[in-house]
Structure 1
Amino acid sequence: MDYHANYSIWDGVYYHPHLFGVIMLTAALLGFSTSYLSGIASFPTLPYMLPYLGNLQKEKSGKKRIRVYMDGCFDLMHYGHANALRQAKALGDELVVGIVSDEEIIKNKGPPVLSMEERLTLVSGLKWVDEVIANAPYAITEDFMNSLFNEHKIDYIIHGDDPCLLPDGSDAYALAKKVGRYKQIKRTEGVSSTDIVGRILASMEDKQVNGECNGMDMSLDSHLKSKHASNFLPTSRRIVQFSNGKGPGPNARVVYIDGAFDLFHAGHVEILKRARQLGDFLLVGIYTDQTVSQQRGAHFPLMHLHERSLSVLACRYVDEVIIGAPYEISKGMIKTFNIYLVVHGTVSEIDNSLNVMEDPYKVPKSMGIFRTLESPKNITTTSVAQRIKANHEIYQKRNAKKEASEKKYYEDRKYISGD
């Protein structure tokens, strides 16, 4: 963390009250103004002295960095998870994330969709995460809590304001609350892993009714109005919270990669990491919902444009996104964003039976700035959805129970913070 950039002038007052008093008293007695002092031997004016004095004291004393811990299953990673970890990081200086083991998830919730390896890749790829602990327990036991405090030097344990209950009905974070080392954040409305599983299952049902049974496909308008459509209400504030807020330098090598990035998964993280290594600034184009539907069919995307954009923005390898990027890359676009290299992975989900447009990379190829990247993983949005469809009865039963508790949460809520 950059101390020099973050401390106000009042830090000097706080850490040096006596020195501050002496300076002010001396200036008053001698009748010197700070502007007069600045003219003598280049003496700095008082407002510029105070932050320096405060910073000097903090650097000498070595202010303790606050370490916070948050755990979760992080199955079917989405922007709600990312926002929770963003809020947790804001409560401290270093964020340690515990990822619940497959065995613990099975015991408490049912089978996870993603493997531990995939969930580790997703969580480690978030810009707010400093460390991860694999195979964390579902409940904060006394032994595990002590190991967090003593071995991992954790100061506070964080969780959302939605209840996290064990099979016996007890609070999974009761011990942390009892010892006064617990802090709470707001749940992100409009999305959950349960919701996403529901969208996939509903998509499967819609396809069977409208596609296989009637020999026809749903229109895009019908798809957007279906029961698995998103309830997320995007705001400019949320986008700003996820954004790095910085553009590329004048000589930066800007690498561009585009795609749907639907149901953000480990394959996305790995290809973005590889793309970022080819330059200094990674710009990611996120296709519109209409473009994705044209490429893959009316039942896609599972996540709408703003949801997909936030998931990509949360990735530590991404510097900026184009929300609703054009499918075809033009020469004008390359000039506007000063693109040095355009890349594309080898794993693609375009349905060739649909009327897909011509080669979108024709221009960068003609300019000699296109490169194909070998996709590190074969996982795709469709393959993740297929895992749920293959065990749809298990997930339907689990979702019925979870949806009831989520409905109660929404009924009981009073005010939702913008955080």
Structure 2
Amino acid sequence: TRRLVKAAYEKGESNTIMIATPSSFSTRASVLLNAATASYLLYKLLKVLVKDERWRLQLPWRRRRRPVRIWIDGCYDLTHFGHFNAFRQARALGDYLIVGLNPDSEVVKHKGSPPIMREEERAAAVKACKWVDEVVMDVPYVLDAKYLNEFVFKEMNVDYVVHGDDPCLDAEGNDVYATSKQAGKYREIKRTEGVSTTDLVGRMLLMTRDHHSHRSPVKEETGGTPTSKIVWGEGSFSNFMPTSRRIAEFSSNRRPQPTDRVVYVDGAFDLLHNAHVEFLKRARSHGDFLIVGVHKDEVVNKYKGSNFPIMNLQERVLGVLSCRYVDEVVIGAPWEVSEDMITTFNISVVAHGTEYESTGGREDYDAAYRVPKEQGIFVEIPSDKSISIDEIIQRVIGQRQRIEERQKKKKTQEKAYYASKSFVEEK
């Protein structure tokens, strides 16, 4: 049948084509059709009437389209939802996303100070993003013609190199992606407004009680307290404007099946890092569907104390939704896991790490997990102690002077970007 269709298609003639259905169907039809429409009708008929893969028409002269491979690279320090949204947009431009990661040495050379997170920590966070297919280590900050042609385009078989609409300059002030643009293989995506690594570092150094929700009544020219010597500007506060579309874009839209074993975990998930990722991965292994409850800002502040969380609720939710191990998120989850909640979400397992980061330690969680413990569905998962939010803050404080110098340069670049900013449609 396929040979007849092909011959008719090539000759452009009308042909009588016998359409034979599988043995489960007893009818046969002989239809005189124009050859151009016959092949299309045959394909649609077999696809609709017969769902068995063996009977679907595979036109032998139609070549399958080669997957479009996309490349995006960067430092991705303190990996946040802005980075994840860049990955999402880049992935939408093709079929396979490769993320190149700059080593610490390249970051120091071109940005003046080492990244807060180490290479392996940044790599773990990037690999956990659901839009990332592959991560390449030791990628230079500047992609010269030799590296692009011999490695990116030839060895990695990349079709397009992608970056946001904000400028990316090397230590000498040159455009990092000039070579890709000249080769005609550069594609631009929209920068995610309202968050950046620089902004998060500023929040940690400033640490005002309301930095995660709105602007503090402080001097405009410093962005800090009246006595602050840190030149952070408006980036020290969350300027992120959450929308329903953004949450929908990040959501998996997957529903738990009746036979799925549902696992529930909760927490702040502030400054989502590799220890969080490892915990979520281990929790997911206890079932088939992972629900993550993200606590409200005031709940986190009540139990964590100080000026936590660094990121507000919406920012933390988007970070969790980006993780490939997460199926669903409860936004503003209650502190206590009630019997009604267990029934509503059909929860089979409630899990928590062995580290309890509230000011009261494990005792603060006695009431929170009383019901799942009584039902015998509570499990503790060994925590990864290699990194914590307190450790991250200490690293930032330890680099304070160098970070301030870098921020002064960054502030100038930011002003230039916003002065010439134009609308860019998201992918």
State the TM-score, normalized to the length of structure 2. 0.82
Letter of the 2:125 counterpart: L
Q: CA RMSD in A?
A: 3.2
State the match for 1:225 in structure 2: 215
Letter of the 1:76 counterpart: L
State the match for 1:119 in structure 2: 122
3-state SS, counterpart of residue 56 of structure 1: coil
How far apart, in 2, do the equivalents of 1:99 and 1:242 lie? 23
Quickly say closer, same or farther: Cα 1:39–1:187, change in 2 above 3 A: farther
Gaps of 5+ in 1: 1-15, 28-37, 207-217
Quickly say closer, same or farther: Cα 1:54–1:198, change in 2 above 3 A: farther
How far apart, in 1, do the equivalents of 2:364 and 2:199 lie? 30
Letter of the 2:108 counterpart: I
Letter of the 2:94 counterpart: G
Quickly say closer, same or farther: Cα 1:286–1:126, change in 2 above 3 A: same
State the match for 1:172 in structure 2: 176
Establish whether residue 74 from structure 1 lines up as the match of residue 76 from structure 2. yes
State the match for 2:411 in structure 1: 403
3-state SS, counterpart of residue 58 of structure 2: helix
How far apart, in 2, do the equivalents of 1:289 and 1:237 lie? 22
3-state SS, counterpart of residue 279 of structure 1: coil
Quickly say closer, same or farther: Cα 1:55–1:386, change in 2 above 3 A: farther
State the match for 2:197 in structure 1: 193
Establish whether residue 388 from structure 1 lines up as the match of residue 412 from structure 2. no
3-state SS, counterpart of residue 135 of structure 1: coil
396-405 or 54-63: which moved more? 54-63
State the match for 2:373 in structure 1: 365
Gaps of 5+ in 2: 1-5, 17-24, 31-39, 49-54, 217-222, 224-235
| Paired residue total | 382
Letter of the 2:178 counterpart: A
CA contact (8 A) 2:142 2:170 kept: yes
State the match for 2:19 in structure 1: none
Query: Which runs of structure 1 show a deviation greater than 6 angstroms over 4 or more consecutive aligned residues?
Result: 20-23, 42-47, 50-55
State the match for 2:283 in structure 1: 275
Establish whether residue 322 from structure 1 lines up as the match of residue 323 from structure 2. no
Quickly say closer, same or farther: Cα 1:42–1:346, change in 2 above 3 A: farther
Residues 259-310 of structure 1, C-alpha deviation per residue, up to 9 Å, x if partnerless?
Answer: 0000111111110111111110111000011111101125111111111000
State the match for 2:44 in structure 1: 48
How many angstroms does 1:202 deviate by?
A: 1.2
How far apart, in 1, do the equivalents of 2:211 and 2:142 lie? 43
CA contact (8 A) 1:347 1:378 kept: no
CA contact (8 A) 2:161 2:185 kept: yes
Residues 6-61 of structure 1, C-alpha deviation per residue, up to 9 Å, x if partnerless?
Answer: xxxxxxxxxx9x849979x779xxxxxxxxxx995389977933978997248962
How far apart, in 2, do the equivalents of 1:392 and 1:177 lie? 36
How many angstroms does 1:192 deviate by?
A: 0.6
Residues 138-192 of structure 1, C-alpha deviation per residue, up to 9 Å, x if partnerless?
Answer: 0001221021111111111111111111111211111111111111111011111
3-state SS, counterpart of residue 342 of structure 1: strand
Letter of the 2:117 counterpart: L
Quickly say closer, same or farther: Cα 1:49–1:336, change in 2 above 3 A: same
How far apart, in 2, do the equivalents of 1:198 and 1:65 lie? 40
Quickly say closer, same or farther: Cα 1:22–1:335, change in 2 above 3 A: farther
Identity %: 45
State the match for 1:107 in structure 2: 109
CA contact (8 A) 1:330 1:363 kept: yes
114-123 or 166-175: which moved more? 166-175
State the match for 2:315 in structure 1: 307
How far apart, in 2, do the equivalents of 1:47 and 1:148 lie? 38
Describe how 1:90-101 pairs up with structure 2 within 5 A.
90-101=92-103
Establish whether residue 128 from structure 1 lines up as the match of residue 131 from structure 2. yes
How far apart, in 1, do the equivalents of 2:9 and 2:59 lie? 12
State the match for 2:52 in structure 1: none
3-state SS, counterpart of residue 167 of structure 1: coil
Establish whether residue 137 from structure 1 lines up as the match of residue 140 from structure 2. yes
3-state SS, counterpart of residue 65 of structure 1: coil
How far apart, in 2, do the equivalents of 1:123 and 1:42 lie? 55
CA contact (8 A) 1:194 1:403 kept: no
How far apart, in 2, do the equivalents of 1:59 and 1:279 lie? 44
Quickly say closer, same or farther: Cα 1:165–1:363, change in 2 above 3 A: same
CA contact (8 A) 2:212 2:238 kept: no
State the match for 2:274 in structure 1: 266
How far apart, in 2, do the equivalents of 1:175 and 1:45 lie? 47
State the match for 2:89 in structure 1: 87
CA contact (8 A) 1:270 1:377 kept: no
CA contact (8 A) 1:223 1:298 kept: no
3-state SS, counterpart of residue 61 of structure 1: coil
How far apart, in 2, do the equivalents of 1:47 and 1:178 lie? 43
Residues 321-374 of structure 1, C-alpha deviation per residue, up to 9 Å, x if partnerless?
Answer: 111111100001001101110100112321129x95753011000000000000
CA contact (8 A) 2:212 2:312 kept: no
How far apart, in 1, do the equivalents of 2:421 and 2:165 lie? 10
